[in-house]
């Protein structure tokens, strides 16, 4: 059975790259993408993905912590950020992996392998 995955990223290019890389892995099934805070909250609550690729800094000054406080369903998290100092936030949020932007194909492959083993 495939791991249902939702990508929450406000940068269109980054979201497209993550989506493309995840689609290459047969263990994952992308159930949706969210490019805004409200869409992310609704999508998580409706789709109940097993896995979130979640940007640390969201829209209108919102953060991953703000988003997670608004959802009823708790998924496993891969936190995505261009700021490495947010790796501590990843730990605090219970993330199973951290993906630092900019990332290479190899970086995302390593994270995907970790995720699959953790789930």
List of domains in the chain: 3-104 (3.40.50.2300)
On whether the CB atoms of residues 20 and 65 are closer than 8 A, the answer is: no
Nearest to 77 by CA among 109, 50, 104, 46: 50
What is the mean pLDDT, run by run of 10 residues, along the chain of 119 residues? Answer: 94 94 94 93 95 87 84 88 66 80 92 89
Rounded alpha-carbon distances, angstroms, from residue 80 to 46, 59, 68, 100, 116: 22, 14, 14, 6, 17
Nearest to 108 by CA among 8, 24, 5: 24
Q: Quick one: pLDDT at residue 58?
A: 79
- DSSP E strands in the chain: the ranges are 3-8, 28-34, 51-55, 76-81, 97-100
Q: Quick one: pLDDT at residue 90?
A: 58
pTM of the model: 0.89
Q: Quick one: pLDDT at residue 84?
A: 64
Strand 51-55: give its sheet, edge to edge. 28-34, 3-8, 51-55, 76-81, 97-100
């Amino acid at each position: 059975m495939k791991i249902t995955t939702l990508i929450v990223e406000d940068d269109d290019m980054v979201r497209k790259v993550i989506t493309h890389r995840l689609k290459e892995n047969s263990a994952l099934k992308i159930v949706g993408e969210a490019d805004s805070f409200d869409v992310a909250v609704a999508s998580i609550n409706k789709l109940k993905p097993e896995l979130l690729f979640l940007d640390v800094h969201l829209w209108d000054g919102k953060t991953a912590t703000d988003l997670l406080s608004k959802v009823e369903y708790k998924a496993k998290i891969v936190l995505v950020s261009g700021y490495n100092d947010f790796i501590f936030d990843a730990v605090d949020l219970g993330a199973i992996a951290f993906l630092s932007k900019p990332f290479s194909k190899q970086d995302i492959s390593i994270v995907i392998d970790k995720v699959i083993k953790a789930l």
